[in-house]
Amino acid sequence: MSKINLISALALLTTFLALPAPPAVFAGPHDLAVIRPGGATASDEAQKNVDNFLKLIARLAGWPAESANARYFNNENEGLQYIQMKKPGFVLITPGFYLKYRKKLNLTPVNKVSLAGRTTCSFFVVAKKGGLSALGDLKNKTVAGSSLSEPEFVEKIVFEGALKLGPDVKAKQMSGLPSLKALRAGEVDAVVLDAQEYQSLPALPFASEFATIFTSRPITNTGIMAVGKNADDTAIKALIEATKGFCATPEGKNLCTTFQITGFEPASQSDYDDLIKRWGK
């Protein structure tokens, strides 16, 4: 390269480097991230379901359809990274995710889901009949379940400190049906089930082979939360109104059946005071 061409190239490079970086692309104040660690596979169908869910909320809230976009994650770290980078207005999350990140993300409860008409639920441990009979029997055994994607939540809230995953009991993170099949095959000693999974248990042809050996104390359901100040008070109030009768609308009823919920109820920080105390930080 000639000296003149080299000087021209360096000048062009210097000019390029001096240009301001393109602005970061953020999510909008009506956008929603649905995060369920260990939940259903992040498939096209799962994404379509959360898209339809938010589009109906947007219509009921009076928001332009294009202003409301949803993302689904079944991985905690991926969901957290999305929230921090894209800054959506709202999240629909598990109690474990809320307890772990409520301070870091400045989460404010907006509503809580109702399951079979209840805004609290329990977790259950099932084992083969004639085998283990209590939670303490799990020491030095192997437990499986989708909830084990949030081990700190299981230890502190579900087991209330009675067992430590790892030191006391080996944990295998598996979705509900595969974990129950593993239990039946003798590959694991027990399975942790959330309320929705437990409700579906009797439908299995081999359900009679299992016994419930532990039921947790009731845990307040989470639902949609506002993230920091990404959404203003007007958007929050509109969302609360839009979700009040959501499951009673024809389209909402179908979506609620898909998500195995029966409705939404308004929520506040005080609803989770007991859980936060049990969490311990």
pLDDT at residue 266 tops 60: yes
pLDDT at residue 4 tops 50: no
Tell me: the pLDDT tens digits for 124-138?
999 999 999 999 999
Looking at residue 27, its pLDDT comes to 61
Looking at residue 10, its pLDDT comes to 40
Tell me: the pLDDT tens digits for 163-215?
999 999 999 999 888 999 999 999 999 999 999 899 899 999 999 999 999 99
- How far lies 189's CA from each of 24, 135, 137, 174, in Å? 48, 11, 10, 13
Binned at pLDDT 50, 70 and 90, residue 87 comes out as very high
For the chain, the three-class secondary structure string (H helix, E strand, C coil) is CCHHHHHHHHHHHHHHHHCCCCCCCCCCCCCEEEECCCCCCCCHHHHHHHHHHHHHHHHHHCCCHHHCCEEEECCHHHHHHHHHHHCCCEEEECHHHHHHHCCCCCEEECEEEEECCECEECCEEEEECCCCCCHHHHCCCEEEEHHHHCHHHHHHHHCCCCCCECCCEEEEECCHHHHHHHHHCCCCCEEEECHHHHHHHHHCCCHHHEEEEEECCCEECCCEEEECCCCCHHHHHHHHHHHHCHHHCHHHHHHHHHHCCCEEEECCHHHHHHHHHHHCC
Q: Which domains does the chain have, with CATH numbers?
A: 32-118+220-279 (3.40.190.10), 123-217 (3.40.190.10)
User: Which has more pLDDT, 71 or 259?
Assistant: 71
pLDDT at residue 83 tops 50: yes
Least confident span in 23-27, 61-65, 79-83, 270-274: 23-27
Binned at pLDDT 50, 70 and 90, residue 3 comes out as very low
Looking at residue 26, its pLDDT comes to 53
Looking at residue 21, its pLDDT comes to 40
pLDDT at residue 39 tops 90: no
Looking at residue 6, its pLDDT comes to 40
Share of the chain above pLDDT 90, in %: 73
State pTM to two decimals: 0.86
Binned at pLDDT 50, 70 and 90, residue 9 comes out as very low
